[in-house]
Amino acid sequence: MRLALLSFALLLLAIAMARAETGTLTLALGGREQRFTAAELLARPDAATITVADDVSYKRAMTYRAVPLLALIGAASEVDTLEARASDGFVSQIPMALVAKGANGGSIAWIAVEDAGAPWPPLPGKDVSAGPFYLVWEHPQRSKVGTELWPYQTVAITGVESPAHRWPQMRVADDLAADVPARRGQAVFTTQCMPCHRMKGAGAADVGPDLGQPMNPTQYLTAEGLRALIRNPKAVRTWPQQQMPAFDQKALPDADLDAVIAYLAHMAQR
């Protein structure tokens, strides 16, 4: 009987520990791995209250307790890219240069931290909040931060090489001129599409289909249909579990839309 009680207590302890594990943010930079709980981050002296006027995920103004990402990264800031992984398989590739610009008048990246004592509201159309860790940007317009560089439910941030170096198969042909739309489209794809899609295996996300293999959408969708789908997937087809967001003019100006389609078409030829 006593043994049964003891093993039951151990089981409860194991469950509690597993729960605590999922409530941590892992920071892996320059060969060093650190884990933070929400309470640890909230207790930092540089934790501050910030207001994000136009929050991409909540689609309204939000106020958070948050820690500056640049300070959290500290000395390891020589990395090229920060790969921010969310618990649902969404993975943003955030250029370190973009984060660093926050110290020189650019957009400022923060890790917003949900306090268990003051939980955030659920995300629009979902039954969960963006917490416990949500990467947000103050003054996103200053550096034109893409809508897909706001990973919510972030579980890990890892210092990595730039996507085009890690995965050369996603690169446009070397002899393409610098001002060709497909080349610019590669950059648009990296920030706005790669958080969910791969290109011929390139990428780290598991949310949407690979857009390069086995076939490329420019090979099986009409030009008009593809444009319409990116602008608003629900205008083309709809079902309850549909996940792809609509990219309006603000999220993807016409020039960026043209560029990303030119990139997809170019990649179909490679």
Contacting positions for ligand HEC (CB under 6 A):
90, 148, 192-193, 195-197, 207-209, 211, 217, 226, 229-230, 233, 242-245, 247, 252, 260
* 42 alpha-carbon distance from chain centroid: 22
Provide, rounded to whole angstroms, the least separation between the CB of residue 206 and ligand HEC. 10
What minimum distance in Å lies between the beta carbon of 1 and ligand HEC? 51
Q: Using the minimum distance from each CB to ligand HEC, give the nearer residue, 99 or 262.
A: 262
Instruction: Considering the complex, state which of residue 172 and residue 226 has its C-beta at the smaller distance from ligand HEC.
Output: 226
Q: Which is nearer to ligand HEC, 49 or 238 (CB)?
A: 238
Which residues are within 8 A (CB) of 158 and not within 5 positions of it... i.e. 6 or more apart?
26, 28, 29, 82, 83, 85
Q: Find the distance separating the first CA and the last CA of the chain, reported in whole Å.
A: 68
Closest contact distance (angstroms) between CB of 211 and ligand HEC is 6
Q: Which is nearer to ligand HEC, 20 or 215 (CB)?
A: 215
CB of 128 to ligand HEC, least distance (A): 15
d(CA 97, CA 148): 17
Buried b (16+ CB within 10 A) or exposed e, 32-58: eeeebbbeebbeeeebeebebeebbbb
CB-nearer residue toward ligand HEC: 102 or 151: 151
> What is the Rg, in whole angstroms, of the alpha carbon atoms belonging to the chain?
20
- Least Cβ distance, residue 240 to ligand HEC (angstroms): 10
C-beta of 147: minimal distance to ligand HEC in Å?
8
What CA–CA distances, in Å, run from 128 to 122, 124, 152, 177, 258?
5, 9, 11, 45, 34
CB of 134 to ligand HEC, least distance (A): 15
Q: What is the rounded distance in angstroms from the CA atom of residue 238 to the CA atom of residue 234?
A: 5
Nearer to ligand HEC, 27 or 257 (CB): 257
Instruction: Give, in order, the Cα–Cα distances in Å from 158 to each of 64, 123, 135.
Output: 23, 25, 13
